[in-house]
Structure 1
Amino acid sequence: SIVDYIPVIQMNASIVARIDCLRSFAVAAIENNYCRPVPDDSKRIDIKEGRHPVIEKQLPAGESYVPNDIFLDDEEQQIIILTGPNMSGKSALLRQTALITLMAQCGCYVPAASAHIGVVDKIFTRVGASDNISLGESTFMVEMTETASILNNLSDRSLILLDEIGRGTSTYDGISIAWAIVEYLHECRMRPKTLFATHYHELNEMETSFRRVRNYNVSIMESENRIIFLRKLKRGGSEHSFGIHVARMAGVPVSVVKRAEEILSELEQSHEKQELTRPVDDFINKREGLQLSFFQLDDPVLRQIRDEIMETDINNLTPVEALNKLYNIQRLLRK
């Protein structure tokens, strides 16, 4: 009866599965130039030229992943405050650190030049934004619930990754919560290793008051009112998030982007003087109308269409000529 052979079959299946897993580790390591990690009993994570194992495989042909170093311990550099523009790669850096740590403890080679990984018992993450409509929980409530779970369950060997904590509420509330969380993680006796990505540049001030907090930023280069993402981690905090630049890249109408730049300039001047140079009511009274001008869009095709419309003598236009004009405009838009 086959029942008599079930234990043997199960044992063979387990052995084959283990061989398959280990072979997959070996193939991935050879094909992707992974290195052998060095796990130990220390409380430090020291990764040289670490890469994200998924993102580096999805890059366009000819483009290489920009590697970065990460060092965390419980004595000198327990908490890294990571700032930088949107889309610069902060979240990818958090995720690759967690993946390299996890892969090392699975017995797999890792995407890095070298990696010394002190044993980690828990990896906590608060990354991304989502709500829970079925339970009546807002995005911010979900964020705080998950953060509370992290703070109540951490250990001295935990790795904590926090991405933009506090963004779901008002600016001052968010800064206060983020600051208090970093302070708590620094002062608690367990000293968990932490990567904290944020757009609250006020948190850069913590380095001067808290011995194991360090500021880093993901570098960019500005060129002719454009930003180029260098994806390289460097020491020191960042002063700007370049959100308006990203809005322009995403295709937000030019009139909206220009208006945002005007308002940003006014707010920055007000912040420097600690008062509003122009009242908020003035912003509202001079706001961009909801009906955006068709001719404000900086697009060669739209300019060509504008010129053709402006040159048309509507009073003497026959129905056939009008149809021909519409056909020409439609042809331009389909190019």
Structure 2
Amino acid sequence: MEKEKSPDTLAALIVGVTGMAGFSLAEALKQPTTPGSPWKVYGVARRPLPSWFPSCLIDCFPSPDALDHEDAKNKLFPVAHEITHVFWISRKLRKSEEVNISMNSTMLANVLNALKPAARSRLRHVTLLNGTKHYMGPIFDPSLRGELVHQEPPFKEDLGRLPYPNFYYALEDLVASYLPSITHSVHRSSIIIGASSRSLHNTLLTLSVYATICRYQGLPFRYPGNKYTWEHFCDMSDARVLAEQQIWAAVTEGAKNQAFNCTNGDVFTWKSLRGVLCEGKGKVWDEIVEKYGLFETKMEDITCFEALNVVLHFGFRQVCSMNKSRESGFLGFADTLKSIPMWVGRLRDMKIIP
């Protein structure tokens, strides 16, 4: 596909920059070989930058409250005339999917409406990170969980929407409403693996914390899921591959206004990952943080045991098709069984786990 012609410096606003996907995206955008380089990178997060986040990755950190229209308008005003691309990685999650729709739609609309009316606005593209809940429904809403019927895997982008409320659908409709002046791309990840202490659904960090506590207390590491997910194939999305695809779509004309699955391109079983996680409860984690001099966190802030429990008790294969991406020209991939130990190593280097 033909790359977009861009004589001017591109400026990215990453909303959710300190999460797994946002952190890897900031790293990728600052690489000199990245398409569209050199990029200016502006970051938004709900809290100040953590000590493990290199300040050199972002040029500005405006950080408005995206739920507050006036705050978003005022905080983004100084950079609104520079932003060419919004990378929407952020999300706020509650148990009710109707609440999720309202909150997340409000946040995205507030940010886009703060940027679009700016004098000499350069905003041209919005990159939206969604996920496979698009094909499974609101699996974390306890009021709907028992009645959900998922699409048949492997999940493909042209499958119709399910008849359930889903904030992914609402966000896709919202970005589409800005056409034709602002294009968009939608990226549907599987289970994201990366490094951060701040992601809402960080499966790798949650399992690493569990394995660390088991080791610290001399307990066996018991798989917390069911036999089906232990033995059957699943897929993952390395945050580096996700960043690569988002940037590719942002600067490639033929990828505009489309949705793409984004996984590593291979499959794995949870059984095959047990050894990786075992190499080498709340009160116990506090003791571990102090003993090993880790970045100070509370276990409830960095783990997602409730969400992980849902994922590890699926009765179907969570597998996406990557054919559309490949046919469109995106060939990024990762070896999941090599990605896992690499990211565990990054978490250790960042002093998030021992």
Greater C-alpha Rg: 1
Higher fraction of strand: 1
Under a length normalisation based on structure 2, what TM-score does the superposition of the two structures give?
Answer: 0.27
Higher relative contact order (CA 8 A, sep 6+): 2
Higher fraction of helix: 1
Under a length normalisation based on structure 1, what TM-score does the superposition of the two structures give?
Answer: 0.28
